[in-house]
């Protein structure tokens, strides 16, 4: 999608579709009270064109509600689309992001190749972040998952124009960031959307390496021999049931001088990359198993985040690790009751022994070795992302993803990042009492903790491998795939966590 930034009067812009946001400024609490619609633009010509329809009262400016006017009087645009953004006093940049996405999703099935969005103006909307949100929302909305349909019709929006006002430099910076983040989120979605036969661990490694070459990151992709050398017994145990070899993907971003500063942090990003998850010997039910291609969404989020980091260039060293494997049942696969030895935490330390209770609890096994390796490579702060448990969806529904941390200060960086990214995470506990649930009689720990608190016991398992290193765990299983289309985004892979991880990284860059 080509993007342009305009500083013209909206009424003077020649375009196929001019989109403008609207809010309800009425203060009445009566359910049937007539709305008081305000357009978030200073252009009087646009207001005059829309006012006769708005006065009718049918359009209420509810979030992502749309109203289309053809050949609007006094405007050069062929069509005027009014997109609701809710109550006037409550609008945020996150509402703007969705509204911009709604405009693009409205245009796509109608074959409109050009959309012009008027960047909204409101007292509570910071201009640079608002431009960024428009770009993010529009780019994310342009993604569709119908890659392999023989009758696929390219109805993508080819050109996005944004009509801004005020500081040109700030608007240009917002546009640049929005394009980088939106494209990186879509890159992660593209990886997730690929079927298991076309996105094996090896291919995922190739895709990551190609991305790193394009954007100037160092990348190494290792396989079985390297895992054996590193004694990654937990990671290898997951991969052993498949004919496809595993891939240990290591991406490094190191700006000049960043890691040499005294006490400078080194951030470790670790993603679960299970390119297809049958459950192994503890095989999953057949219903919906086809979606298990998305079990590498955490790894894809880390690759997408590294793509953004390479372009935004924060002054902090970042190491991205993706542990990719297939979890398959075969005569070689691990079995319930097996004991595996994880990667040693150092030359003088033995690896933790793990009793395998359920082979479908495999994501935590690959992450255990990935977290250990990130520390050995010098990471001082850790964040991991994984479609780890169905239990997190039971606990939080499909509204928030789960977040866990062993360090309040580190988590506060993430909580602050969410204010910019707009993604929704809810912090859950990792208190020591929960560790009792993963104690094993035969080994140090077991890989499941029973029926209750499943997302928490999975996090407690990972906590065993971070020692005292500040760490955040993101369980994105409930939000990484959407079964239903939204007004602002297609059904399918969401690319959740990319924006939040990037903002977390940037918070350490001073």
Q: Which of 87, 113, 284, 427 is catalytic?
A: 284
Q: Which of 105, 108, 189, 364 is catalytic?
A: 364
Q: Supply φ then ψ for residue 316, to 5 degrees.
A: -160, 140
How far from each other are the two terminal CA atoms of the chain, in whole angstroms?
Answer: 32
Q: Which two tokens stand for residue 279?
A: 């459950």
Asked about 364 being catalytic, the answer comes back as yes
Asked about 155 being catalytic, the answer comes back as no
Say which residues have a Cβ less than 8 Å from residue 130's Cβ, sequence separation at least 6. Answer: 93, 96, 119, 120, 174
| Residue 94 host element (H or E) | helix 93-107
Write the burial class of residue 148 (CB in 10 Å: 0-12 exposed, 13-18 middle, 19+ buried). Answer: exposed
Say which residues have a Cβ less than 8 Å from residue 25's Cβ, sequence separation at least 6. Answer: 36, 37, 38, 87, 88
Say which residues have a Cβ less than 8 Å from residue 24's Cβ, sequence separation at least 6. Answer: 35, 36, 37, 38, 60, 61, 62, 84, 86, 87, 88
Sole residue written with tokens 């990972």: 462
| Spacing of C-alpha 409 from chain mean position | 22
Count Cα atoms within 13 angstroms, Cβ side, for 439: 7
Supply the residues annotated as catalytic: 284, 364
């Amino acid at each position: 999608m080509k993007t342009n930034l305009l500083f013209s009067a909206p009424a003077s812009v020649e375009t196929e579709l001019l989109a403008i946001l609207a809010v309800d400024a009425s203060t009445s609490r009566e359910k049937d009270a007539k709305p008081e619609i305000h357009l978030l633009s200073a252009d009087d010509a646009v207001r005059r064109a829309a006012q006769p329809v708005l006065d009718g009262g049918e359009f209420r400016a509810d979030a992502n509600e749309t109203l289309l006017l053809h050949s609007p009087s006094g405007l050069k645009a062929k069509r005027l689309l009014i997109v609701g953004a809710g109550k006037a006093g409550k609008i945020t940049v996150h509402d703007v992001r969705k509204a911009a996405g709604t405009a693009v999703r409205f245009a796509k099935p109608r074959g409109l190749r050009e959309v012009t969005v008027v960047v909204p103006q409101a007292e509570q909307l910071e201009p640079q972040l608002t431009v960024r949100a428009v770009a993010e929302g529009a780019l994310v909305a342009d993604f569709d998952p119908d890659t392999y349909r023989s009758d696929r019709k390219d109805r993508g929006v080819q050109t996005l124009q944004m009509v801004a006002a005020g500081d040109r430099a700030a608007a240009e910076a917002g546009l640049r960031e929005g394009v980088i983040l939106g494209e990186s989120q879509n890159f992660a979605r593209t990886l997730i959307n690929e079927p298991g036969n076309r996105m094996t661990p090896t291919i995922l490694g190739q895709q990551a390496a190609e991305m790193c070459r394009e954007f100037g990151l160092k990348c190494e992709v290792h396989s079985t021999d390297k895992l054996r050398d590193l004694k990654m017994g937990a990671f290898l145990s997951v991969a052993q049931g498949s004919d496809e070899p595993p891939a240990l993907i290591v991406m490094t971003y190191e700006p000049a001088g960043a890691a040499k500063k005294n006490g400078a942090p080194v951030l470790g990003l670790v993603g679960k990359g299970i390119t297809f998850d049958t459950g192994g010997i503890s095989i999953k039910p057949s219903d919906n198993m086809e979606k298990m291609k998305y079990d590498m969404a955490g790894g894809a989020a880390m690759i997408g985040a590294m793509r953004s980091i390479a372009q935004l260039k924060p002054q902090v060293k970042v190491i991205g690790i993706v542990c990719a494997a297939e979890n398959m049942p075969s005569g070689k696969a691990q079995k319930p009751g097996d004991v595996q030895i994880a990667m040693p935490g150092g030359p003088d330390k033995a690896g933790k022994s793990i009793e395998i209770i359920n082979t479908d609890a495999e994501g935590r096994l690959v992450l255990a070795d990935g977290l250990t390796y990130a520390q050995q490579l010098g990471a001082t702060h850790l964040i991991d992302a994984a479609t780890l448990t169905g239990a997190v969806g039971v606990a939080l529904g499909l509204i928030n993803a789960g977040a866990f941390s062993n360090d309040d200060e580190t988590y506060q960086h993430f909580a602050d990042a969410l204010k910019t990214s707009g993604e929704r995470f809810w912090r859950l506990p990792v208190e020591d009492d929960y560790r009792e649930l993963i104690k094993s009689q035969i080994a140090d720990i077991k890989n499941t903790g029973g029926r209750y608190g499943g997302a928490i016991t999975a996090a407690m398992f990972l906590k065993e491998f971070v020692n005292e290193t500040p760490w955040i765990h993101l369980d994105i299983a409930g939000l990484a795939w959407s079964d239903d289309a939204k007004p602002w985004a297609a059904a399918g892979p969401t690319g959740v966590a990319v924006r939040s991880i990037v903002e977390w990284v940037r918070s350490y860059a001073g």
